[in-house]
Amino acid sequence: MRKLKADFFDRPTLEVAPELLGRYLVHENVDGRRLVGSIVETEAYTGDDPAFHAWGIVDAPTGLVKPTGRGYDLFGKPGHAYVYLIYGMYWMLNVITEREGVAGCVLIRGLEPVEGESVMWARRPAARQPRDLTSGPGKLTQAMDIDGRFHRGSLLRAPLYFAEPDRIEPHAVATSSRIGITRAVERQWRFFCEGNRFVSPGVPSDIAADTRRRSRRSIRKRPS
DNA sequence: ACGAGGATGCTCT
DNA sequence: GAGCATCCTCGTG
């Protein structure tokens, strides 16, 4: 099992995101226990992307980070971690993509446990069945013991890194709109292993927006 | 099997 | 003060 190197991530984000499927995320814990998951779901975010956190500090046509941009200096450092807290509770793990100076990253949204599953059960008390352990971006960071201490760190070496398994399980790659966003919902930038139980249960944002429209209309039509 | 609502903290307006 | 790349619990069928 070889670690993925910087050149894997030093490419267009829309190439990296689907190719991460079937590859491993490995956390070598301090107590020597290894937590390993096979990636089954990812999302791409780029500089030319209104849904991206770095939108606004990026020159939209080129995707280049403006030199005046505060923070986000790590964009353009392929293979590094962009980790942030969402809803005050859950950590999201992204890996930086693209060449130097260009903004982009891939959100890891789903893992299939490969090693250390007993540790994951202990870290995820709400889990009722195996799929509850890692089927979502917030769940998998809890299970894998990933939080803000990894922000800005390298994901090319221990304790946290990506790896090429001895054999990649055959899988069909499906796409959809990304989950939980309100902008650029028409972009089909979510990639997942079709039929895999560890894909997150969320509804793609274009479908969710359509469902909301329908339910509002039915309320309006209801006689009073 | 759904659906609604709450938790909770950081960033941006 | 609002919004957020989420998850969990507790209702109702």
Look at the alpha carbons of A181, A91, A111, A123 in this order and tell me if their dihedral is positive or negative.
negative
Rounded CA-CA distance A98/A35 in Å is: 27
CB A126 within 8 A of CB A58: no
Per-residue pLDDT at A83: 93
Nearest to A41 by CA among A114, A92, A106, A121: A106
Q: What is the pLDDT of residues A6-46, one digit of tens each?
A: 999 999 999 999 999 999 999 998 677 899 999 999 999 99
Per-residue pLDDT at A224: 33
Of all nucleotides, the one whose C1′ comes closest to residue A86's CA is C4
Enumerate the nucleotides of strand B whose atoms come under 7 Å of any protein CB: 4, 7-10, 12-13
Q: Where are the alpha helices (DSSP H) in chain A?
A: 6-9, 13-19, 117-123, 131-134, 137-144, 205-221
Of all nucleotides, the one whose C1′ comes closest to residue A89's CA is B8
Higher-pLDDT residue of A59 and A165 is A165
Of all nucleotides, the one whose C1′ comes closest to residue A90's CA is C6
Of all nucleotides, the one whose C1′ comes closest to residue A109's CA is C5
Per-residue pLDDT at A35: 97
Contacts of A211 by beta carbon, 8 Å cutoff, 6+ apart: A203
In whole angstroms, C3 C1' to A2 CA is: 41
CB A8 within 8 A of CB A79: yes
Question: Nearest CA to the C1' of C3 belongs to which residue?
Answer: A87
Q: What is the pLDDT of residues A75-127, one digit of tens each?
A: 889 999 999 999 999 999 999 999 988 889 999 999 999 999 999 999 999 99
In whole angstroms, C2 C1' to A170 CA is: 44
Per-residue pLDDT at A96: 94
Residue positions counted in chain A: 224
Per-residue pLDDT at A212: 72
Enumerate the nucleotides of strand C whose atoms come under 7 Å of any protein CB: 3-9
In whole angstroms, C10 C1' to A201 CA is: 19
Of all nucleotides, the one whose C1′ comes closest to residue A45's CA is C5
Write the Ramachandran bin of A61: left for phi over 0, alpha for psi from -120 to 50, otherwise beta: alpha
A214 has a pLDDT exceeding 80: no
What are A46's two structure tokens? 């780029």
Nearest to A191 by CA among A210, A172, A211, A219: A172
Q: What is the pLDDT of residues A139-192, one digit of tens each?
A: 999 999 999 999 999 999 999 999 999 999 999 999 999 999 999 999 999 999
Mean pLDDT of A189-209: 94
In whole angstroms, C10 C1' to A102 CA is: 45
Per-residue pLDDT at A41: 98
Question: Nearest CA to the C1' of C9 belongs to which residue?
Answer: A126
What are A80's two structure tokens? 């590094």
Q: A57 pLDDT band (50/70/90 cuts)? A: confident
In whole angstroms, B11 C1' to A119 CA is: 33
In whole angstroms, C7 C1' to A37 CA is: 20
In whole angstroms, C3 C1' to A53 CA is: 13
